[in-house]
Structure 1
């Protein structure tokens, strides 16, 4: 039996919304095919398997593939390990990433700092306004926007953005709150952003020097699920 912690990452300040995440803290005995099967059964945009809690060494799976880097899985896993061990996490070690990922807490939110080059190959499409973002149809197979964050300024002067992510190429029709796409967007725009994502999740992202960016937010725990 596999015990899966179910989190919501990038909630708003009231603990609402957030992107569901599965985290398995004791995946011993699960091979790669079995991990992929667990991720597919859960159906979340990502599921994390932590092979070494003390070292925060982990793997990230979508329902169809493994990723080297993903924002909401790393933010959520950092938060969960800190809750379980009573110690803040300073370094995460996704085994497919080119380098370690820093983690820290700021104003109650959990953040990561990562190499932009390790993020999936996101396309960014700027739309005219928030209404167009909210009204965009979820693309089907073979259509446009297969790995795309569509976004618009809600308040450009304040750095507030409205966004949604479509990632059918990774087995996810729509991602409620995508940290890696937001991290890349902040890097490309070279400014700090507060992104209202999906149904109402809140992602904070900012550049962090050449080749790096940070993403952070709040996390809620929705219990443990047995598979």
Structure 2
């Protein structure tokens, strides 16, 4: 049996929102050919298997596929490593080296926009139109729908729909925030989903950092197909 940590990542200031995440710090105990089945069984947006606590080498799986890079799994894992007394200042997903840090209540990771999946950025006139959406425009497989909440303060309202991966709506999309900040060329704060909050920083080398608050919601023992409280 392995210990499963369940987190919420990019939690809003009022405690709402946050994208669920499963993390196994003893991920090396899971054979490679079983990891997809575990992620499918858990059915979180993503599940992380940490293969090496010292180097931060890890793998990320959705219920359907492995990902080379994803924002909320890396932010959540960096926070958990820090909480558990590990360095956590570098992570190694398949995409490449990801610097990470915990700064007070915000955990940051730095990634390359080109590592993010391809998505379509669709601007609307107002946050109320974003709130009224029931799904993406027809034919758009990965839609990042956004509007300015306050352009002068660089605050954005966003919702993300990913029907091409059988995800009707993603509560908090870190890789989307990385790609969006690079696309718009501004350090935006994104209010996504029902209450998630994502903050971005631009870097001279073209990379983008995304950060947010993380909470631990559960820790339990797990064997494939079974969770034990």
> Same fold judged by TM-score > 0.5?
yes
Corresponding position of 2:160: 165
TM-score (norm 2): 0.91
Q: Does 1:69 align with 2:69?
A: yes
| CA deviations over 1:120-154 (Å, ceiling 9, x no partner) | 112211111111111111359xx433212111101
Distance 1:100 1:93 in 2: 5
Q: CA RMSD in A?
A: 1.7
CA spacing shift, 1:107–1:29, aligned 2, 3 Å: closer
* Contact 2:158–2:190, Cα closer than 8 Å, also in 1: yes
For the pair 1:138 / 2:135, whether they are aligned, the reply is yes
**1:220 CA drift (Å):** 0.2
Distance (Å, rounded) in 2 between the aligned partners of 1:30 and 1:165: 31
Give CA deviations for 1:51-79 in whole Å, capped at 9, x if unaligned: 11121110011111111110000000000
3-state SS of 2:117 partner: coil
Matches within 5 A, 1:45-194: 45-85=45-85, 87-94=86-93, 96-97=94-95, 99-139=96-136, 143-194=138-189
Structure 1 runs (4+) deviating above 4 angstroms are: none
Query: Equivalents in 2 of 1:122, 1:171: separation in Å?
Result: 15
Alignment of 1:40 with 2:35, yes or no, is no
Gaps of 5+ in 2: none
Distance 1:205 1:32 in 2: 33
User: What's the offset of the Cα at 1:158?
Assistant: 0.5
CA contact (8 A) 2:51 2:57 kept: yes
Give distance in 2, aligned partners of 1:145 and 1:4: 34
Q: More deviation in 151-160 or 204-213?
A: 204-213
Q: Kindly indicate whether the alpha-carbon contact (under 8 Å) linking 1:62 and 1:170 is maintained by their aligned counterparts in 2.
A: no
Question: What's the TM-score, normalizing by structure 1?
Answer: 0.91
Does the residue aligned with 1:77 lie in a helix, a strand or coil? helix
Aligned length in residues = 222
Structure 1 position 114, deviation (Å): 0.9
